[in-house]
Amino acid sequence: MANHTRKLALGAAQFGLEYGISSAGQQITVSDLSEILRVARKYDIGVVDTAAAYGNSEERLGKAGLSGFEVVTKFNHDTNVKSLSAQLAMSLSQLQAKSVYAYISHNANLLISNPVNFDELLRLKSQGLVRKIGYSLYHPYELEQLLKLDMKPDLIQVPFNILDQRFEQYFRELKEMGTEIHVRSLFLQGLFFMETNRLADFFNPVKALLNQLQRAFGDNGKLAAALLQFATSNKFIDKAVFGVHSADQLLANCQLINVEEYKIPIFTDNIPEEIILPYLWPQKN
């Protein structure tokens, strides 16, 4: 059986923000973070994914210590920072690192509307401050626009889960270009685990599907393992980024994902885009 944990990457949004539909206002303590990183090391999870926009995530990771991890971080538009090099310097300072594995745009428009940013990414790479450059996307048309602008990524991050395989048609082409593929939104910010009677009417289009999925596994731990495995089993995907709220949760995920090969239903029939893209969700549920 494949060692699925080696294809996992630890998402760090919840280390600096109250993150996810099911977080219930939880915020991870410094000691919790250190223990999460310890468990990640034990199970050969070698990548941490963070961003300047994730509150104080970078700073807390730096204090916790990132020995043994490769870091992917993202830049965002900030009117107080004039250049990407200045933003990167700030991130490196907070991470207490001399360089990062990858430095990518938090969204496509930062590059499409200002192509000089990609030139600066190339310069930062040539200076040895980052090993890989690229972008995080939400829509396939963004990828097509960026490739037409000849912005070929070393690393790309896109959403991917049982309700959303919009980018899968590009995976082979990306691999042929030498692009490393990271996927996120494996749990749709915890939506897959929510009791449907607690969800707003906004989610009515998928409540029956969620009920079916939860009945099929009967246990959130096994369901989480199956959702992770759906991504790690894809031969084109290099890393599957996911978040946890405790070391115990991470430990359970790592143990269950390698116990068996899970069969999981894939729902592809007319899932509204506003459901599969959390930034389109109503602020209160």
Spans of all domains in the chain: 4-280
pLDDT over 50 at 285, yes or no:
no
Q: Write down the residue that tokens 């989610």 correspond to.
A: 203
Average model confidence (pLDDT) for the chain?
92
Q: Is the pLDDT assigned to residue 87 strictly greater than 50?
A: yes
Q: Lowest-confidence range among 23-27, 52-56, 157-161, 205-209? A: 23-27
Angle of CA points 22, 50, 102, to nearest 5°: 145
pLDDT in tens, 124-151: 999 999 999 999 999 999 999 999 999 9
What is the pLDDT, as a whole number, of residue 270?
78
What does the alpha-carbon distance between residue 42 and residue 37 come to, in Å, rounded to a whole number? 9
Question: How confident is the model over 229-252, as a mean pLDDT?
Answer: 96
CB contact burial 216-233 (16+ within 10 A = b; e otherwise): ebeeeebbbbbbbbbbbe
Question: Looking at this protein, which amino acid is placed at residue 13?
Answer: A
- With a pLDDT cut of 90, the percent of the chain lying above it is 83
The token pair at 169 is 């048609």
Q: What is the pTM of this model?
A: 0.94
pLDDT class of 267 with cuts at 50, 70, 90: confident
The tokens describing 52, both together, are 């300047």
Average pLDDT over residues 105-114: 94
pLDDT of residue 24: 52
Q: What is the mean pLDDT of residues 179-194?
A: 96
Identify the architecture of domain 4-280 in CATH: Alpha-Beta Barrel (3.20)
